[in-house]
Structure formats: C-alpha cells, structure tokens
Structure 1
Amino acid sequence: MPSRALSYARRSARETLSGLPRAFWWLWTGTLVNRLGGFVVTFLALYLTTQRGFSAAYAGLVAALYGLGGGLAAVVGGVLADRIGRRRTFLLASLGAGVTTATLGFVTHPVVLAVVVFAVGLTSNASRPAVSAMMVDLLRPEDRLRAYALNYWAINVGFGVSGVVAGFIAGHSYLWLFLGDALMTVLCALVVFARVPETAKPVTRVAGEKGPRTGLRQVWRNRRFMALVGLAFVLGTVLQQAFTTLPVDMTRSGFSASDYGRVLALNGLLIVVLQIPVTRWARKRRPVVMLASGALLLGWGFGLMALIGRAGLPAYVGFYMLAVAVWTLGEVVHEPASMAMAAESSPAEARGRYQGVFALASSASAFAGPVAGGVVLDSFGAVAVWGACAVAGTVTAGGYWMLLRHPKGRPAGTHPRSLDSTEGGAGGPADRRSLPL
C-alpha cells in the first residue's frame, strides 16, 4: 500500500513538473526568492506603530498609499513591458524596489516616509506585469494552468516562510529587515535578468504606424476581458476579509491573536499541500467549471463564518478552521485558473498591458476590501459581512458561467477561444484604428 501511494506521488509530481521550459523555472525561482525576502509589507503597520510611534490611522493611510502605488504600477508596468521589453522593465522595477525599500529603513519624517512607502508600492509591483507576460510568452497554452499553479504555490510558500523569518529579524532590528528585503530583491533581479531571455516578439507594423497597435484603450474596450477583471476584483475583495475583518470578528468573539494565527496558518498549509494535486485534477476540467466552482467555494467558505457563535453553532476555533478549509480549496481551484484565463486573453503585441490591467484587480481589491469590510462590520455586524461574501461568491460564479459558457468546452489547461472577441477586444478590427497609450 505505501509503495502504491509513493508511486502515485511520483507520477503526479512528474506530470506536474515535467516539460516546462528552463526559463520558466528561473522565473519560478525568482518568485520564490522574492517572496522569501518579502518582509516589508507584512510588518509595515507594526513598524510604523511600535517603532516609529505613529497612530493606527496614520499606519492605515500609509498602507493605502502602498496599495495606490501598486495600482498605478500595474498599468505603468504593463505599458513598459510592451514598450521597452519584459527584461528591462523587470530589472528597472526591481532595482527601484531595492533602493526604495532600503531607503524606508532610514527615513523618519511622516511625510517623507509616506512618499517613500508609495514609491515602494510603485516599484515593487511594476515588475509583476512583466513577469506575467514573460510566463505567457514562454509557456504553451496547455502548460499554463499548471505553471500558474506552481507559481502560486511558490508565492504562498515564500510568504509563509518570510513571515517567520521576518519576525525573527524584526526582533533584533527593523533596519536589517528593510535591507534584507532590498538585497533579496536586487539579487533576484540580477539572476533572472541574466538567465531569462527577452520574450517579447517584434510587432509587425503597418507602414507609418509607430509602436504596438493595441493600447490601453483597446484593453478597456474589451468588454469580456474587463468582465473577467471585474469578477477577479470581486473575489479579491472577499479574500481580503481574511486579513482585515476576520481577526476583528474573532477578537470580538473572545478569541486571541494566537487563535487567529493558527486559523490563518491553516490557509497557507492547505495551499502548499493541495495546490499540486488539485491542479493535476483540474487539467481535464473546463475553465468555466473551475472558475465557477472556485468562486462558490470561496464565497460560501467565508459565508460559513456567519454561523459560528450564532444560529446554534458554538464559537470554536475548529469551526473557523473548517470554514478556512472550504474557502482555501476555492482559492486553490480558482486562482491559477483565473490567471491562466487572463493569459489566454492577452494578444502578444499587448501582453504586458493586458497582464497589467488584470493585476489592477488585485491592487484595487487590496484597497477596497479592507474599507468595505470595516464599514459593513461596524454598521451591520459580522453576519452581514460573511453573508455578503457568500452572495459575492454566488454572483461571481454566475458571472463566470454567463461569460464563459459559449466557448467550446475544453479542459482548463488547454487553449480555449480567447476572450479577445470582436466586441472591441484585442485582435479584432477595432484594434487597428487607434494608437496605443
């Protein structure tokens, strides 16, 4: 029996890991190393309040500025990835992130500090559209789902380990926390720049035309793609409640910070354990099935928390863990499929722009999620927050079904008909009429 299980595990690992290009694995390694050194965001609020003595309101404002910088970076980084190339954009953004992160450890004036945090948000997020575009360029359509799943796995492993390491470093010196983050970012950038070739292909131009033919205007006008971005934003807003509303609700229910830590740790653990086997199972499923089912599990997993301590369900940590297990499964199913679908939707000549606009959904949800959750929690209570999450997951699942039911049903890892339809999308005749941004 153990030998059969071992054989199955080996076969699963071989099917998941084999056949991907070497350049992808350099990008994957860069993602892992970058997240292992991603200390600043995790401990920024704690640094501002405990080390610098600023108020919680100021810390919240600075965190919002970081998110604002990240939102702007998503668009700017996408445009640069198409204009000057993926590698140059990645290198410039990463070097900028290293400089601004290191600077953050030395500034003390509240205005200057806020400006530097905005710059950290801008530079550290500007490389992401370039990395996403490089992955799409490098990978065959049938390999993209598992590649994005592996990348998402690396992100979560890096995030989990960095939290432990950062806590140890911060106990000795916050300055070394910032310098360590900066050093890891720069080293990662240099290695990836040296090992990964430029993946952007030359664009065929019509006589007299300058630059790529597809600009941001065409991305915004692609109604089906923007619907995909909107659905990702809604689910991103739901996911944000795990880091903002959930700890407040648990504290009000009498649980400790360590209880919340155990509950949230389960999320990271399950992602690490489930991501690869779930992705192997998902490769033969239609994209609409993966996205809709993931949205339902996400929404209703959060919705289950409306029953804890209410409706006769006792307030036990174990019930929170059950809810986390449900929405984590939804996250594991939904996130790689969503990224793969966005990849299928981006034409080569504007891949950076498309990936940048899609990344904007994450930045916007990181800004809107805490605000919305806090307002609803204070005004209507926790039941309203978790009930709204269930409704949002249901509506999003219906949106995916309406959006993707018409393309020929293919497995989630294959190349379905792109969302770049003739409805103003990239690749249609409308693309040729206007200049890019």
Structure 2
Amino acid sequence: MPASPFSSRLHGGLFAPGALAPLLTDGAEVRSMLLVWRALAAAQAAEGLIPETAARAIGRAALEAEIDPAALAEGTARSAVPVPALLAAFREAVGAPEPAGWVHWGATSQDVMDTALALRLRQALLVMEDGLDGAIRALAALAGGEAATPLAARTWAVPAVPTTLGAVAAEWGRPLLAARAALGAVRADALRVSLSGAAGTLSAMGPEGPAVRARMAGALGLLDPGASIHADRQGVAGLSAWCTRAAGASAKAAEDVIAMVAAGEARLEGAGASSTMPQKANPVLPSLVVALARAQVGLDAALQGARIHRGQRDGAAWMTEWLLLPQVLLGTNRALTALRETLEALRPDRAAMAAMGGDVLGLIHAEAISLALTGPLPRAEAQAETQRLAARARAQGTPLPALAARAHPDVAFPPAGTGTAEADARAFAARAREALG
C-alpha cells in the first residue's frame, strides 16, 4: 500500500483529497511563509522598526520569488524546520543586502510556520465547511422527503418500534448541524497570528512588538492572541477534536446505511462490484466513511498529546502535529464528501421498510399492545401478558395483534405509531435549510 492513500495514483480516486490537496503541499507551505514575512515587514515598517524601503523590497520579493522546495531539503533535514534554509534563499531573492537583512527581524521559525499554517487552515476550513454543508443539505432533503416513510427502529441491532426514515435522517443530521455551529469557536482558536520571538517575549522588537503583532494579524486576516501561543496548541488540538466530532457523526449515518443495505431496505446507486460475485453491490462509500472516522479517532488521540508541551517551544510536540494534522484534515473532509455521495446514491425500498424488518408476527407492536392493556390491567400485569402473547405468537406463528385482539376483545388496540418521528424529521429539515441559507 502507498505511504498515503490520499496522494496515491492507485487509491487516490477513492480517498479523493479534492480541494484540500493544493493547500497541503510543499509549495503552498513555502508561499504562505513568504506572505508572513511580507506582512511582518509591513507591520514593522509602520511601527518604525525597519525602513519603509526595506519593507517594500521584501513585499515585492515575497510576491515574485520562485523558490524550489526541493532546494531547501538538505537545510530542513539539518534544522528540522525549513525556515533557516528558506530565509537564506529568500534573502537572495530580495537582492540588495540592506533590505534583505531586515527579513524575519525579531521573529523566530515557529512564528513564521505557525502563522503560515493558520493562513492555509483558513482555506482548509472553508473547504471542509463546504463538504459539511453538502452532507447536511443531503440529509435535510432525505429527512423532509421521507418524513412519513415508515421504518423499523432498531435497538441492539434488532427491530424495536416503528419510526420513519426521515426521523432517522434527522438523527444523523443533528450532530452535524451542531458541529457546523461549533466552527466559529474552532476558527477563533486555529486562525491566530503567531509573533512571539525566540522565547515568547517579543524582546527583539521592544515595546512596539504587540503593535506589530496586531498590525500583522489585521493584514493577514487572522486573530491577534495578545500573547505568545508557541506552547499553546489549542488551535491545532481543537481543530482535530472538531474533525473527530464531524467524522464520527458522519460514520454513525454511514453505519446505519450499511445496515439498511444489508437488510434489503435500501440500495446504493452505482455501488461497488465484486471481483467474483456478480450479484454483489457493495456499500463502498459508507464503508469508507466508517474507516476514515475510525482512523481519525486514533490520529486525534495522538495529536492531543501535542498539548503536552515542554518549555516555551517543544520540537517533538511540533513534529507530532506535522505528522498527523494533514491526515486529519484530508480524512475528515473525505468522510464528509463521501457521506454526501452516499446519501445522494441512497435508494430506499419503501415496501421493504414498511415490512418492519421482516416482522411478519407483528412483534413490533408489542409496546403499543402493552400500553393499551395498561388500565384494564395493572401495568406490571399488562407487560407480563404482552410477553406471554409474544411468546405464543412465536410458538404458533400467529401475529401478535391478532392474538391480543382474540384474548382481549374489549380492548381497543391502536396500531403502533411513530410518535414525533414525522414532526422531528420536518423540524430538522427546516432548521438545516435555515442554517444553510
């Protein structure tokens, strides 16, 4: 198997990194770091820390420089970070020694890399929000369109009482809608400028340091944390936790779709083929969602460990993020898009769903029967009587409702209803449409 299925020519069609792929390349990392240096120089010039002419030269070079990431590989391997090698290459691109000497003034490698990451995360979150919105939109359509379609609810994997397909879709969708509402807090933590200097004190910039950071944040469209965030990894850890939440909610829906397909209650248009069994239509996409969510749980557990940070800057914790965060982003985004594709391919078999999981004996009505018997009988006796009737139904092969009517002709037995299912489905569909605008 390849080192990463997201970049594999063989598996890439399934794992489909999509619009996230260009944001997670060496070239994108280098380009975003140059933009950080441009904003830093402009902010420092505005505060009188470096010459205006130097800031203009740095700004031009940041937009025009073409630096090959491969040329930085040896220096990156030696320093563990690409900034020293990139800084040397960029100073050459600036040209004149005087302005080139002002590049990176008073900053440190982590300032540049973390701020450059925030710039790319801003775009990544927009891509992921689009994927999330697509899944929610598909769920809203399913919930509204199938609000009254009867379906057997399952508890402990067996038919329990009736619900509707729309209510189940709403159950899938509400956690995703809540995850969407939480994105604002995720952005507030993840999209922050980092400008703290070597030890988090901004000592090289003197009293103008905080003003430089504020100007830089404004120019880049990031938040000013007002202090050093070198050892505060809440931005990355919180983003990973949110990804786990979104991927897990997607996988819950996918697991239920797999169960519906297995029960013959639905099929997936264009489902996967078997190499030897021509009748097979495998639930490939929902299985992919589940696999990605399972992987995300492990990735997140490891990435949360980066919160444990030694001193003012911790190389091991930082490298942990480099290893895991790209996989977290790619996996979560693909889980969301694959869920949307799954829902768009879902074809319910309404007749099979109306059969209530093959419940030919009508056992799914047991709760309604026990409730109807409560009154004529004490509650405990009503439940015990329903259990006896259910056992007889299994033994004789006679439907439970018929046995109940025969045994208690004076009791009106209403059919098992779906309670608030239809209303819940329509309420979710309306709420989702309102949230998406």
TM-score norm. by structure 1 comes to 0.27
Bigger fraction of residues in helix: 1
TM-score, length of structure 2 as denominator length: 0.27
Task: Work out which structure has the larger RCO, using CA pairs closer than 8 Å and 6 or more positions apart in sequence.
Answer: 1
Q: Quick check: which one's strand share is greater?
A: 2
